[in-house]
Amino acid sequence: MGKNVHMQTFSSCTVSLTKKDFFDTLTPAQKKLMDDNTVDIKYNKGEIICKHGTFAPYIIFLKKGLAKVYLEGANDNLILKLAAPGSLIGLSSLSDDNTTYHYTVSTYLDTEASLINIDVFRRIIRENGEFASSVICVFCNNTLQTYGRFFSFTHKQLYGRLADILICLSDRIFYKEEFSLNLTRKELGELTGMTTESVIRMLKKFRQDDLIEMDGKKLKIKNYELLLKISDYG
């Protein structure tokens, strides 16, 4: 009976699950208002969508592709999360007193995004309680995810963190156990908080232990269960 709530449930997975019905709470008038104040933009792989510290004129809704949300350090970045289609980016700029972007976002793949005027977004939050609740829901999910990631980073070691990410990529981004890895080892390192060299070594270990199979950019998870156990164990 009941679900066992335990630290083991924390994962450093970085992707919130998609909310398809996010804009369904809008009235037709609000929908129109938003549409009139939104532009759709296509980005090539590797382009920057928004830059930490710049003024935030939009909330960004990711329609297609894949992006990383990160903090820039002196030498290395800290990836806060991967943004898959359905993600809202820039919500933390909704605060009235802090209207800049609080992270940099750039694309991994060719990406399409809707840029929604932030003042209109704010106005609709004030007008429409259901919509406001949805936004709060997104914040809740982001918060939980960040906490889980935080726990992983402080309590798991490299094996566990890398296992986390592989599971995350499989479960939440590519939706299958075999996928083409578009991330470099360096980027995997940024996602897991380890050096490139360590990523390489850990991946090798995983391959030797028959947990995964790699061929060029193709990666296949061979022993999902054990990988999950490694993620849990730390």
Partner DNA sequence: ACTATTTAATGATCTATATCATTATTGAGA
Partner DNA sequence: TCTCAATAATGATATAGATCATTAAATAGT
- Stretch near a second copy under the rule CB under 8 A, chosen from 29-37, 56-64, 131-139, 218-226: 131-139
What the block records as the tokens of 34 is: 């938003």
Q: Which is nearer to DNA, 117 or 182 (CB)?
A: 182
Closest CA to 122 of 99, 145, 147: 99
39 - beta bridge partners?
A: 115
Residue 94 near a second copy by CB under 8 A: yes
Burial class (CB in 10 A: 0-12, 13-18, 19+), 195: middle
Judged by beta carbon distances under 5 to 8 A according to partner kind, the member of DNA, a second copy, none in contact with residue 109 is: none
Q: What's the number of CA atoms in the CB half-sphere (13 Å) around residue 151? A: 18
Judged by beta carbon distances under 5 to 8 A according to partner kind, the member of a second copy, DNA, none in contact with residue 39 is: none
Binding site for DNA (CB under 7 A): 157-159, 184-186, 193-198, 200-201, 203-204, 214, 216-217
Residue 198 near a second copy by CB under 8 A: no
Q: Which is nearer to a second copy, 142 or 223 (CB)?
A: 142
Phi and psi (nearest 5°) for 53?
100, -20
CB-based contacts of 147-155 (< 8 A; 24+ apart in sequence) = 147/10, 148/9, 148/10, 148/11, 148/12, 148/13, 149/10, 149/11, 149/12, 149/13, 149/14, 149/81, 151/7, 151/10, 152/10, 152/11, 152/12, 153/12, 153/193, 155/7, 155/10, 155/234
Residues 96-115, one symbol each (x = binds a second copy by CB under 8 A, - = not), give x-x-x-xx------------
Residue 14 near a second copy by CB under 8 A: no
- Stretch near a second copy under the rule CB under 8 A, chosen from 34-42, 89-97, 173-181, 195-203: 89-97
Of 93, 106, 107, 114, the one binding a second copy (CB under 8 A) is 93
What amino acid is encoded at 8 in this protein? Q
Q: Which is nearer to a second copy, 144 or 200 (CB)?
A: 144
Q: Which is nearer to DNA, 116 or 187 (CB)?
A: 187
Of 20, 74, 180, 208, the one binding a second copy (CB under 8 A) is 74
CB of 104 to a second copy, least distance (A): 10
Give SS3 for 189: helix
Give SS3 for 110: coil
Q: Using an 8 Å Cβ cutoff, are 83 and 66 in contact?
A: yes
Cα angle 48, 66, 162; round to 5: 110
User: Which residues bind to a second copy, rule: CB under 8 A?
Assistant: 5, 7, 10, 52-53, 71-74, 76, 78, 80, 91-96, 98, 100, 102-103, 122, 125-130, 132-133, 135-137, 139-144, 146-147, 149-151, 153-155, 193
